[in-house]
Structure 1
C-alpha cells in the first residue's frame, strides 16, 4: 500500500510539472538546412508562390500555410507581388507522429515486437484532412507520442528558373502547437537570409503561451424601480 501511495504521489507531481510547463514558454528546437547562391537581397525583393499540383487540389486547406510563409518572408525583406515577381517560391510541409524507436520503459504491448513500435502516422494536407490534438497517457510503460513537423522553401529566379535559395526546418518533439509551430519553423528556415550558414545547424526559439481570453462577467440586473 505504501508503494502504491508513493507511485500515486510521483504521478501527481509529474502532472503538476507538466501543467506548470504548459503555462510557460516552450522551446522549439529544429534542424535547419540552408543553401544559398544569393549575395544580397534581390532587387526588387518580390516573389510569387507557385503551387504544386497537390497543393492546387487542396488550395483552401493550403492557404493558411502560405499565409504563415508570407509573414516569415516579409520579416526577411521579401514582398509578395504576383504581377511582378523577381523570385518564384515553392513551399512544402509535412506533419506526422510516431512512437519513439527507443523507450527505456517499454512493456510488452509497446515492445519491438509490437505493431505500434516506431510507426509513423501522416496527414494529407494542412487545414483539411489533418486533425491535431494533444493528450497524456498515464500508462507507466507506454512511450510518449513523438510529433514530426517539417517545412521547406525553394526560391527560383523568375527569369532564368535556376534555384537561388533552398532551406528546410525539421522539428521532432513530444509537444506541438499547430498551426503556430509552422510559423516558427518558417522563421527558423529563413534565419540568416539571404546569406545563411550553409548546411545543417540547430536553431532554438522560445514560444510564448497563447494568451487566454479575459473571463466575461454577466451584467447584473437593474434594480427594480421603487414607487
Structure 2
C-alpha cells in the first residue's frame, strides 16, 4: 500500500519537471531512535566499518563522505585521533520495475499479444511450439528504491546512542545526488527527533536529477 501512495508524488514530479521547474523534491521516509538528549558542543566521531564494508572500501569511502557533510550540519565533527563516537554508515540502491509500468505487458522473441496461461492474464509467447508460459517483463521503466542508515555508538561503552534510517523511491538514476540528501533527512532533528515515521522533503536543483 505504501508504494501506491509514495509513487504518486513521483509521477506528479515528472509532470512538473517537464515544464519550467528549476528544482525537485527528494521525499524520504525517516525513522530514528535516540538514547541521548543533547550532544556536547564540538562532539567528535570516527567512521567504523563492517567487514563487508571494508571489502568495498572505495564505495564505502564515497558514502562516508556523503554522510560526513550531513553529520557536520548537526554539529558532529570527524576526528579519527580523538573521537567521542563511532559512526557506522550504510546505504543500498535496488532497481525494480516501475509501479507505473503496465503489468500486462510481456515480451517474447516471436511477437506478443494478450492471453491467458497457467499464471494468469498477461502478454505471452507466440511461437516456439508452445504457449502460456510467462517470461521476464521488460525493464524499460526502472524504479529505484534507496535506503541509508546511520548508527552512532559511544566509544568506551560501545552503547548505541542514535540510530536512524531514511527511505526513498522514484524513477531517477541520480543516486549521487539523492543519497547525500537522504543522509541529511535521516539526521534531521538530531539528537531528539520526532517519534515514529516522518516524511522529510528536501529540495534540489533539477539539473542534478540525471547525475
- 4+ residue runs over 4 A deviation: 16-19, 110-115
Could you tell me the TM-score, scaled by structure 1's length? 0.67
User: 2:73 is matched with which residue?
Assistant: 75
The counterpart of 1:186, out of the listed 165, 171, 183, is: 183
The counterpart of 1:172, out of the listed 156, 163, 169, is: 169
Question: Number of residues paired by the alignment?
Answer: 172
Q: How far does residue 208 in structure 1 lie from its aligned partner after superposition?
A: 0.9
Closer, same or farther: CA 43–158 of 1 in aligned 2, 3 Å = farther
Q: How far does residue 194 in structure 1 lie from its aligned partner after superposition?
A: 0.8
The counterpart of 2:51, out of the listed 50, 53, 63, is: 53
Note if 1:38 corresponds to 2:36.
Answer: yes
Q: Partners of 1:33 and 1:94 in 2: how far apart? A: 16
The answer as to whether partners of 1:154 and 1:166 remain within 8 angstroms in 2 is yes
Could you tell me the TM-score, scaled by structure 2's length? 0.72
Q: Partners of 1:61 and 1:205 in 2: how far apart? A: 24
User: 1:87 is matched with which residue?
Assistant: 85
User: 1:196 is matched with which residue?
Assistant: 193
Q: Partners of 2:135 and 2:93 in 1: how far apart? A: 21
SS at match of 2:62: helix
Cα displacement string for residues 90-121 of structure 1 (whole angstroms, at most 9, x for unaligned residues) = 01110111014x547333407598554699xx
The answer as to whether partners of 1:32 and 1:202 remain within 8 angstroms in 2 is yes
The answer as to whether partners of 1:43 and 1:86 remain within 8 angstroms in 2 is no
Q: Partners of 2:25 and 2:135 in 1: how far apart? A: 31
- Alpha-carbon RMSD: 2.8
The 5-angstrom pairing of residues 115-194 of structure 1 reads 115-116=135-136, 137=140, 144-194=141-191
The answer as to whether partners of 1:150 and 1:168 remain within 8 angstroms in 2 is yes
Closer, same or farther: CA 163–209 of 1 in aligned 2, 3 Å = same
Q: Partners of 1:37 and 1:196 in 2: how far apart? A: 11
Q: Partners of 1:49 and 1:42 in 2: how far apart? A: 18
Closer, same or farther: CA 92–47 of 1 in aligned 2, 3 Å = same
Q: Partners of 1:118 and 1:49 in 2: how far apart? A: 40
User: 1:218 is matched with which residue?
Assistant: none
Cα displacement string for residues 187-225 of structure 1 (whole angstroms, at most 9, x for unaligned residues) = 0000001111122111111111338xxxxxxxxxxxxxx
